[in-house]
Amino acid sequence: MPTYHGSCHCGRIRFEVEAEIDRVTRCNCSVCSKKGILHHRVSAENFRLVSGNDALGTYQFGTMIAKHHFCTTCGIHTHTRPRAAPNLYTINVRCLDDFDLSKEKVEIVEFDGRNWEKSVGQLR
């Protein structure tokens, strides 16, 4: 399984993931659509925060289950502990330094996060 390296814009937060990235999820909820996040789920054992724990901010809203992590210096959203599966991580694929989204053949799955309760069963 490939290892990818990701970071925020200023580089204070750095992470690694082991993943086969063949599909990403684009959520239209109020927070994800404003940030332009493309999510890819990874297990906790396949995610590693390399540096920047001291610069990591967390935003929570609504049910307060999901944890949206971002850099407190540059504001870039790097990863989430999602409400639908809080034992996993979703990484923001746009933050991967060695994954070219424009060249990769990935399926983009639309998720209706505005109607989360009705749509959550569609996530896998």
- The mean pLDDT value of the chain amounts to 92
Q: Which CATH fold would you assign to the domain 3-122? A: 2.170.150
Residue 37 identity (one-letter amino acid) = I
Mean pLDDT of the region 39-67: 96
Is residue 121 pLDDT above 90, yes or no? Answer: no
Interacting residues of 79 by C-beta distance below 8 A, sequence separation 6+ = 6, 15, 47, 69, 89, 90, 91, 92, 95
Tens of pLDDT, residue by residue over 55-72, are 999 999 989 999 999 999
Interacting residues of 123 by C-beta distance below 8 A, sequence separation 6+ = 25, 84, 85, 111
Is residue 120 pLDDT above 80, yes or no? Answer: no
pTM over 0.85: yes
Tens of pLDDT, residue by residue over 82-104, are 988 899 999 999 999 999 988 98
- What does the domain layout of the chain look like in residue ranges? 3-122
Is residue 14 pLDDT above 70, yes or no? Answer: yes
Q: Are strands 39-43 and 88-92 parallel, antiparallel or unpaired?
A: antiparallel
Is the Cα dihedral 92, 74, 116, 43 positive or negative? positive
Find where tokens 């940030």 sit. 35
Strand partners, 81: 67
- Element (H or E) spanning 114, and its range? none
